[in-house]
Structure 1
Amino acid sequence: MLVLILSVLVLLAVGGVVCVYWTARGDAPRWARGVATATDVLSEVALKANKNSTSRNNGGD
């Protein structure tokens, strides 16, 4: 069951990256632009969470 959940998450991430690339080319439909925006926002949230987690573990360096 865990493998299935992780597989779905990986497929969603790959689909998001494809939509970001498609949007960057300039010929994506509206739904793909929405998926690309959501992917960008979620990646920024993940980066900030990782940065906060790393700074707490390193004593704020």
Structure 2
Amino acid sequence: MVNLVLLGVLVLAVGGCVCVVWAERGGPRWVRGVASVTLAASEVVRRSAKKNRRRRLGTTSGRD
């Protein structure tokens, strides 16, 4: 069951990446929408990883 969930996530990620490339080449409107959602989700994940890395290193936003 867990393998199916991970496979589904992998398929969605690869599909999103394909849509980003296709949108850059001028794909249809729905492809540009999927690409926008994919890029927004990647930004959320990137910011979350950055916050977790700071928290793990014990640094804060510079305020004492």
Q: Please confirm whether the aligned pair reaches a TM-score higher than 0.5, indicating the same fold.
A: yes
Q: Which amino acid aligns with 1:22?
A: W
> Match of 2:32, as an amino acid?
R
The Cα RMSD (Å) is 1.0
2:37 and 2:53 mapped to 1: Cα distance? 24
The reply on whether 1:24 has 2:29 as its aligned counterpart is: no
Instruction: Point out where structure 1 has 5 or more consecutive residues left out of the alignment.
Output: none
- Correspondence for 1:13: 13
The TM-score with structure 1 as length reference comes to: 0.94
Q: Does residue 38 in structure 1 map to residue 37 in structure 2?
A: yes
Q: Which structure would you say has the larger Rg? A: 2
Task: Report the count of equivalent residues.
Answer: 60
- For 2:22 and 2:14, the matched residues in 1 are separated by 12
Deviating 4+ runs (over 4 angstroms): none
Percent identity of equivalent pairs: 47
Hey, what's the Cα distance between the residues in 1 that align with 2:43 and 2:10?
Answer: 17
CA-to-aligned-CA distance 1:1-32 (integer Å, 9 cap, x gap): 00000000000000000000001112x11111
